[in-house]
Every structure is written in C-alpha cells, then in structure tokens.
Amino acid sequence: MNTSPSEPIDSNLTSGENKSFWTASTEPIIIEKLKENIKTDVLIVGGGISGLTTAYCLLKAGRQIVLVEDGYLGSGETGRTTAHITCALGDRYFELEKIFGKEKAMLAANSHTKAIQFIANTVKHENIDCNFKRVPGYLFLSGNDTKETLDKEYTATKNAGLLTEMLEQVPALASEEGKWAIKFPEQGQFHIMKYLKGLTEAIIGMGGKIYTETKAEEISREGAKANGFEIKAKHIVVATNTPVNDWVAMHTKQWAYRTYVIAAKIKKGTWPYALWWDTGDIDSQWIGASYHYVRLEELDDTNDLLISGGEDHRVGQADDENIPEEDRYIKLVEWTKKRFPVMENLEYKWSGQVVEPIDSMAFIGKNPGDENIYIITGHSGNGMTHGTLGGIILTDIITGKENPWIDLYSPSRITFNTAGDYLHEVGNMVAQYADWVTKGDVKDTNELKPGQGGIISSGLKKIAAYRDEENNLHTCSAVCPHLGAILQWNAEEKSFDCPAHGSRFTTEGKVINGPAITDLKKLEVKEEKSLQQSHSIEEELNKTI
Ligand SMILES: Cc1cc2nc3c(=O)[nH]c(=O)nc-3n(C[C@H](O)[C@H](O)[C@H](O)COP(=O)(O)OP(=O)(O)OC[C@H]3O[C@@H](n4cnc5c(N)ncnc54)[C@H](O)[C@@H]3O)c2cc1C
Ligand code: FES
C-alpha cells in the first residue's frame, strides 16, 4: 500500500498521516510565502476548492484578490476528498422539502446542477487536464433501508426539477440484484488536485496573488496578519472549511464527522465509470447517518482505481460504537468487496473531515453580524459543488449582482423542523465534557511505544502525549483551546481530535482543523529515566529476536 505509517503528519501537505491518492499522485502545489505588507480588494483565507474557486470567480469579475493558505494548496479536506461532483445530496431532497419547502428544494437542485456545469465549463475554458468526465450516479438501498426511501426521494427529485429515473436494477452491482436505484444523469468526476492546479494557474494568469505557508491570524474587518505582515482588504472571505475567525459561533449550527476511504486497483474496462451511493445506515446513532460512496478513477494504461468511502462517525467518538478507527477500514473493505468482487489489493487508505450543517445546506454568505466578512462552510459530503457555489455566490454578493441562491445559503438563516436533530447534536456535544472526570486511555508515558500516542490523566491535568519514532516524547495539554473539551487520540491519522466540535491537532500540538485557532499548550513531563531505559532495552531485544 502507498502509505508510510511511520511518518508524522506533514501539515503543509495534508491533514492526516495517511496520504490520499490525489496528494500521493501529484506534486504539492507550492507558491511563495508572504514576505511583505500588502493591500488588496478581497482577501481569501484558505486554498481548497472553496477559496480557489472564489479567487477565480472574483478575478473573472474584475476584482483584485490575495489568497493565503496555511499549508500548500489542497492541503485541507479538498486533498482528501473522493471528488464525486453531484447534485444528489447526501441529506436527501425529501428532507430539504420538509425543512425549506418545495420551491427552495428546487433552487438547491438548480444550484448544484449549475455548479457541475461551472466545473465542466472551467475545465474546458482553462484547458485543465484533470480527467474530468460526465458520469451517471446511482442511489441504491442500503442493507437495512426500505424502498419507501427511494420512492420518497424519487418524487422529491422530480419536484425539484431533476431529470432522475427510477431503475429496477442497480447498474453494474450484481450483489444488489432485485434492488431499485435512482439514476442521476450527467454528474461528474475529476482528479481534484489536478483541477486545483489548473485553477491556480488560471488565477495567477489573471494577476491573482497566492501565498502558501502563510497562516492568516487576527482576522478582522480590516484584513488579517500573516507571517508577521499586515494584509489590508476591503472584503475578507474565510474559506477554511470550518471558520477560523474566532467570533463566529458556527460550531452551534454544524457538526464535524470523520469519514473513511479505501482505494484498490481494478482492471480497466471491468467496471464502467459511474458514481454509486447507498442510502445509508438507518440504524446509525449519528444524525449524519453514514452512507457508502464509490467511484472509479483513471490510474494507468491497464488499471483504474476503485475508490470507496463511508463508515463515518462524529470526530473523536469512533469508540462510542466500539469500532475504533482502524476497524472502520476493515468494514469498508468487506462492504466494497461484496459489491466489487474483482477489486485487487489495497493501494491507499485515508480518512478526512466533513462538516454537517444542521439543515442540510452549506453556509455561504456574510458572516452573521458582519458586512465585509464572508464564510463558506458546512459542505456536508457535497463540498465539490458547495465549494464551487461558494465562489459563485460570494462573487455575486461582493460585486452587487443578483443571485437566486443567496437566501437559501445565508449563514444567518433560521430554519424550522430541525429541532430534534439540533437537540440530539447539542446533547452529544455537552456529553463530551464528561471526559474531564474519566481516566485517560494511557496510564503513563512508559506505556507509549515509538509511533504511539494517547491521553494521560495526571491529577487534575489531562496530557496529550506522543512518542515519536526516535523515542522523543511530545507532551501538550489535552484540553482543546476552542472551548475546553478533552481531546482523543486518533491512532490512524496520528492526531489529537476534539469530540466536541471537531478541532484536530498534530502530535506536536499544531492545529490542523478548526474551529480552534491556536495550537495546544506545550507541557513539560519528566519521565522516569530507568523505566524509559528499560522500555528502550525491551525494544532493542525485540529487534534482535
Ligand atoms: C474523505 C472525504 C470524501 C469526500 N467526498 C466528497 C465527494 O465525493 N464529493 C463532494 O462533493 N465532497 C466530498 N467531500 C467533501 C469535500 O471534500 C469538502 O467539503 C471540501 O473539499 C472542502 O473544501 P474547502 O475548500 O471548503 O475546505 P478545505 O479543502 O479544507 O480548505 C481549507 C483550507 O484552509 C486552510 N486554512 C485553515 N486555516 C487557515 C488560516 N488561518 N490561514 C490560511 N489558511 C488556512 C487549510 O490549510 C485548508 O487548506 C469529501 C470529504 C472527505 C473528507
Ligand atoms: S473544538 Fe470546540 S471544544 Fe474542541
């Protein structure tokens, strides 16, 4: 498999230890660091699909932009996606109808269809070599769901004006014999990092300024600071997946989930290019019920790559279902092999973070209470289209152009019919603070072998401890700097994850996912030398056996 589990996270490159196929198969997109004070019309924070599309659209509309990215371009969740480009919404059109009414569900369908078209046009116009294809998508029943779900969704998609079809078979999936599927025609797929590279070249070609390894801090209505320099701007777009401007309280309107991906070779031509999704686990304890999502990507002359995802859980809460992170991959392989029996050995595995909004639609628009700060967040599993819509909608707001989708996506909207889900998620969030009085998962630092981490209780203190491959111990406070929940160790991505609102930190305490904006506090922990030495001797003995 193309992963190197002993390397710590290179947070400039990606937000987890396991590399995705996209980042592993392309060169990192590095521009230059900001090295001077600068003034611009629009400052964009974040170099994923949302930030780069916003930069592209604003430049096309004649605006001047500066984009700053903490790591390299695509180093956030965009580089860890599976890049289905679709108007089939994970949260279902019949739910949208219930929450927003038929007219707005129709607007939602229209916006996602236009976003797919925008990507197709941009690929063509900018001549981006990113394997973009129009493909059909198929929504089929999960093992424990009933046909009623498909019937309801089919009617709602028709109400929303989509050209869906009800099929009596799930195309290409023999294991689903006798099950029905909804076909969504003219969806899309691409190699996301190649698309970002094309967008980047177009942005630079139009005179846009992009700075990588440049973290925006102290974001305000005047601009931000980065690398010790001032960036002055008339408008500020925060496109950081989870907003990192610290006065924003979006963490009470959306929840962070981890989702898992495996990728295996498959002989070219044995399966058609298409997107498949099941309707999800209806018995799931999570409001954002986990569903499976599968597609193919071109790999080489003889093989395609089968990319399959799912097995989600709330960040930092994998153990609540007694399924630790590593077992999620095993479950995913089992599920995928049953449906795609010709898949070969695993080439890649990785996980990533999706942000689930309370009412199914992303939050795109003016930050509540601000006139010149804008956010793009809450993409759910539809970040390719929501991120693209972010660029289109914000450009129209900033340039004063009318846009029919502004109210639908407004971060200030109030929605009804979501109270049950809201209370469930808030209850879950509050429950996470109980970790203050429970024991850590590791008794003391001597239990940690090289490459292992964990949470240690020491009196009233909670310590996030990690022993690196050279046997050096790294210790930080395990108290999340956002709102004080206790972090959990994620052994698969080698990070400390917050179960309350999804912030994540590297083994050395550097923040890699918001809403936290600061790193973990370093703590000095003295190890008992003799124990430490005996641990090393034991390791040496093991090596010689
Ligand atoms: C495993 C997985 C599968 C998915 N599959 C799909 C799919 O098939 N289809 C789909 O539509 N969506 C999918 N999604 C969702 C989609 O990938 C994301 O919603 C989308 O990529 C988010 O894009 P973004 O640009 O908003 O955020 P990001 O890509 O996370 O970009 C935000 C950037 O901001 C940077 N940043 C943060 N703080 C600062 C700061 N202070 N200063 C400067 N920069 C900063 C980060 O480094 C990061 O690069 C998937 C997600 C995952 C994890
Ligand atoms: S992310 Fe809010 S307390 Fe940790």
Q: Which residue among 240, 262, 291, 506 is best mutated to probe the pocket of ligand 1, counting the most ligand atoms within 8 A of its Cβ?
A: 240
| Section 498-504 average pLDDT | 95
Nearest CA to ligand 2 atom 3: 483
Ligand with an atom nearest the CA of residue 503: 2
| Section 347-369 average pLDDT | 94
Write the pLDDT tens digit of every residue in 299-308. 999 999 999 9
Write the pLDDT tens digit of every residue in 200-209. 999 999 999 9
Q: Does residue 70 or residue 284 have the better pLDDT?
A: 70
Whether 224 and 45 have beta carbons less than 8 Å apart is answered as yes
Q: Which two tokens mark 318?
A: 């994998």
Q: Which residue among 53, 70, 77, 262 is best mutated to probe the pocket of ligand 1, counting the most ligand atoms within 8 A of its Cβ?
A: 77
Give the closest residue to 261 by CA, choosing from 539, 3, 473.
3
* Cα–ligand 2 centroid distance for 329 (angstroms): 26
* Cα–ligand 1 centroid distance for 79 (angstroms): 7
Write the pLDDT tens digit of every residue in 89-123. 988 999 999 999 999 999 999 999 999 999 999 99
Alpha-carbon gap, residue 315 to 324, rounded angstroms: 12
Nearest CA to ligand 1 atom 19: 383
Whether 336 and 262 have beta carbons less than 8 Å apart is answered as yes
Write the pLDDT tens digit of every residue in 153-177. 999 999 999 999 999 999 999 888 8
Specify the pLDDT at position 294: 98
Give the closest residue to 341 by CA, choosing from 379, 306, 390.
306
Q: Ligand 1 in contact with 15 (CB < 6 A)?
A: no
Specify the pLDDT at position 244: 87
* Lowest mean per-residue pLDDT among 359-363, 503-507, 526-530: 526-530
* Cα–ligand 2 centroid distance for 432 (angstroms): 10
Specify the pLDDT at position 177: 85
Alpha-carbon gap, residue 25 to 189, rounded angstroms: 16
Atom of ligand 2 nearest to the CA of 499: 4
Whether 373 and 391 have beta carbons less than 8 Å apart is answered as no
Specify the pLDDT at position 532: 47
Q: Ligand 2 in contact with 513 (CB < 6 A)?
A: no
| Section 530-535 average pLDDT | 43
Ligand with an atom nearest the CA of residue 484: 2
Q: Ligand 1 in contact with 84 (CB < 6 A)?
A: yes
H helices present in 61-101, as ranges? 93-100
Confidence of residue 248 (pLDDT cuts 50, 70, 90): low
Whether 208 and 391 have beta carbons less than 8 Å apart is answered as no
Residue 530 has pLDDT above 60, yes or no: no
* Cα–ligand 1 centroid distance for 49 (angstroms): 7
Q: Ligand 2 in contact with 242 (CB < 6 A)?
A: no
3-state secondary structure of 523: coil
Q: Ligand 2 in contact with 106 (CB < 6 A)?
A: no
First-to-last alpha carbon distance for the chain, in angstroms, is: 26
Residue 296 CA to chain centroid, in angstroms?
Answer: 19
Q: Does residue 63 or residue 536 have the better pLDDT?
A: 63
Alpha-carbon gap, residue 172 to 170, rounded angstroms: 6
Whether 222 and 232 have beta carbons less than 8 Å apart is answered as yes
Atom of ligand 1 nearest to the CA of 385: 11
User: According to the 3-state scheme, what is the secondary structure of 216-231?
Assistant: EEEEECCEEEECCEEE
Query: Which residues have a Cβ under 8 Å from the Cβ of 447 and sit 6 or more positions away?
Result: 454
Q: Ligand 2 in contact with 355 (CB < 6 A)?
A: no
Query: Which residues have a Cβ under 8 Å from the Cβ of 156 and sit 6 or more positions away?
Result: 92, 93, 94, 96, 97, 105
Specify the pLDDT at position 417: 63
Using alpha carbons, list the distances in angstroms from residue 82 to 294, 299, 347, 354, 414.
8, 14, 15, 12, 31
Can you give the pTM of this predicted structure? 0.93
Interstrand relation of 181-189 and 133-140 (parallel, antiparallel or unpaired): antiparallel
Q: Ligand 1 in contact with 361 (CB < 6 A)?
A: no
Alpha-carbon gap, residue 295 to 309, rounded angstroms: 9
Interstrand relation of 65-68 and 293-298 (parallel, antiparallel or unpaired): unpaired
Write the pLDDT tens digit of every residue in 388-421. 999 999 999 999 999 999 999 999 998 766 656 6
Using alpha carbons, list the distances in angstroms from residue 276 to 26, 136, 499.
25, 9, 30
Alpha-carbon gap, residue 211 to 236, rounded angstroms: 15
Q: Ligand 2 in contact with 515 (CB < 6 A)?
A: yes
Alpha-carbon gap, residue 396 to 403, rounded angstroms: 6
Residue with tokens 């390299």: 72
Specify the pLDDT at position 384: 98
* Lowest mean per-residue pLDDT among 194-198, 289-293, 441-445: 441-445
Specify the pLDDT at position 247: 63
Q: Ligand 1 in contact with 153 (CB < 6 A)?
A: no
Q: Which two tokens mark 385?
A: 């289209």
* Cα–ligand 2 centroid distance for 492 (angstroms): 20
Q: Ligand 1 in contact with 81 (CB < 6 A)?
A: yes
| Section 187-213 average pLDDT | 98
The residue type of 72 is: Y
The sign one gets for the Cα dihedral 368, 371, 373, 376 is positive
| Section 468-497 average pLDDT | 95
**Residues present in the chain in total:** 545
* Cα–ligand 2 centroid distance for 512 (angstroms): 13
Give the closest residue to 314 by CA, choosing from 454, 462, 482, 428.
428
Q: Ligand 1 in contact with 240 (CB < 6 A)?
A: yes
Residue 187 has pLDDT above 90, yes or no: yes
Whether 476 and 521 have beta carbons less than 8 Å apart is answered as yes
DSSP assignment of 4-37, as one string? Answer: -TTSPP-TTT-SSSSPPHHHHTS--B--B---S-
Alpha-carbon gap, residue 527 to 389, rounded angstroms: 52
Alpha-carbon gap, residue 12 to 29, rounded angstroms: 10
Mean of the per-residue pLDDT values of the chain:
91
Widest CA span of the chain, in angstroms? 72
User: What phi and psi, each to the nearest 5 degrees, are found at residue 25?
Assistant: -105, 10
pLDDT over 70, % of the chain? 89
Write the pLDDT tens digit of every residue in 436-481. 666 667 888 889 999 999 999 887 789 999 999 999 999 999 999 9
* Cα–ligand 1 centroid distance for 195 (angstroms): 14
Ligand with an atom nearest the CA of residue 242: 1
Alpha-carbon gap, residue 312 to 258, rounded angstroms: 5
Specify the pLDDT at position 338: 95
Residue 542 has pLDDT above 70, yes or no: no
Interstrand relation of 373-377 and 363-366 (parallel, antiparallel or unpaired): antiparallel
DSSP for residue 150: H
Q: Which residue among 501, 513, 518, 519 is best mutated to probe the pocket of ligand 2, counting the most ligand atoms within 8 A of its Cβ?
A: 501
Alpha-carbon gap, residue 417 to 420, rounded angstroms: 8
Tell me the angle at which helices 102-125 and 192-205 cross, rounded to the nearest 10 degrees. 70
| Section 254-268 average pLDDT | 96
The residue type of 432 is: Q
Q: Ligand 2 in contact with 288 (CB < 6 A)?
A: no
* Cα–ligand 1 centroid distance for 470 (angstroms): 32
* Cα–ligand 1 centroid distance for 67 (angstroms): 15
Atom of ligand 1 nearest to the CA of 259: 1
Residue with tokens 């092999």: 337
* Cα–ligand 1 centroid distance for 459 (angstroms): 38
Nearest CA to ligand 1 atom 20: 383
